[in-house]
A and B are shown apart, each in its own frame.
Chain A
Amino acid sequence: MDAILQIDGLRVEYGGPRPKVAVAGLNLSVRAGEVFGFLGPNGAGKTTTMNVLLGFVNATGGSARLFGVDVRQPIARQRIGYLPELTYYYKFLTAEELLYFYARIFKIPRSERQSRIDAVLKLVELDHARNRQIKTYSKGMQQRVGLAQALINNPDLLILDEPTSGLDPIGRMKVREIILRLKHEGKTVFFSSHELGEVETVCDRVAILHNGELKAEGRVDDLTREHQASLEQVFLKIIGYQPAPAA
């Protein structure tokens, strides 16, 4: 099966006379139809890697491709949806206007736009607030708008950065349901998360990053079987965390 996300020798350094290495020679591939968890402690390089995939940051070395297209080309993002960790959208727009704007960017035909907007608003349960300006929304509602805009183009690859961050248990459950539904539809999901319990439930494969380097990659079952431990314990072991001895 061809990889729809392919990262080869990715290196990202931040400037200055002694540059800081954020990502050091990352090799990764994500195949179509799988749910891929991208794990690592804070500062591991997860968000930097995502920023490169989305074109926010230029790589110092190596390459990254989406659907075979270099990530530096805007067309590489035609078939993806992205949900950032911190969701901020144009506060002066209503949810409907925002989705219409993004639908236009994706060149969704005019005849289909309204039906698509109606469908995603219904999915994220924001139908009742579609004509209110986003500045009047609660945090949870803004998160749902984020999910709606990530799904507006019916993406083949969904990139989610900490999708359940800041959500209550019901919100987290809804996000899990959406991920599983997308998986069932044959979509690919690539997301980073600190909620390892959730990752263990939904992910097919995971990669663990630490200090900009890939420390482990593989199926969740294989990793937990190999280390005879839960995913959380595997994670802590791989990053070299030693818990303090009990008093």
Chain B
Amino acid sequence: MPAPGYILVLLLTVIFTLATWLQPLAVAWTKGRAQSNNLLAVTLGDARRLFANHFFIKADVYFHSGYYPSIFDQGRTNQLHIAEQAGQGPGAHQGKTPEEEEKEEDFLGPPRDWIDKFGRNFYLTEHTHLSGGHEDEMLPWLKIAAELDPQKVEVYTVASYWLRGKLNRPDAARDFLREGLRANPNSYEILLELGRVYAENYHDPDRARNLWQLAERKLKAHERATGEVDIINERQILLYRAQLEEAQGNYQAAADAIERLCLVLPGTHAVEREELEKRRAELLQKANSSPATPAKP
């Protein structure tokens, strides 16, 4: 073998030896850091969360068929309307319908000049929502958002709302929520939504109940761990639970759920608490007057 050949063999041997020595060290360096075999996660790093948010907003843009405020437009809300429609987020329960709120937030206003006026011939100026089965056009963006940021819980819940509701595909909703649960095992939001799938689509109250119980426990654990109180989701869990129990004839359990809700409502919700107390009283009356049925905890 000529001299360059020997040098090549020597170099290859050195490389192989170094690799076997360095590889365990490399594994030790990465211990404790999140590993991903997702190409996007590896290449984008933490920027993937920005992209995920962008694509989540993109789904909302698609919901409005492209009619959407830019970053320059005034009066842009932070709440996405696909989420509001799904009954999520702070804007969801303000006493107004989402449609009424959106009308108030019409961002275009009158044209500022002739250029603006003429330019409006070339883009959408009408506030519309996807309907008639076309809601599935939002799905790719939600899927991509979930791929980029599996920890973005609302992507799963919003997608599920549209899948099981307007698109009548509860199986797809269930599978997607389970995918979200694998990435976020402590997410009470996903458990809440999964419970709704079983309650409203599969008409399986037992499973729905189990899921909402688990959601409630996860929520409490989250509150203890972080000190943050999530009134919105807790309210939803307890209200749905109460509805379910009432529909099943478990009036005592329904009343208990309402009672727990009243305990967590802040002082500013006095009117709501009063109404809930009335409802609880009615449920207790029904519980006392109906034959004894074993109430499920």
Direct contact of A and B (CB under 8 A): no
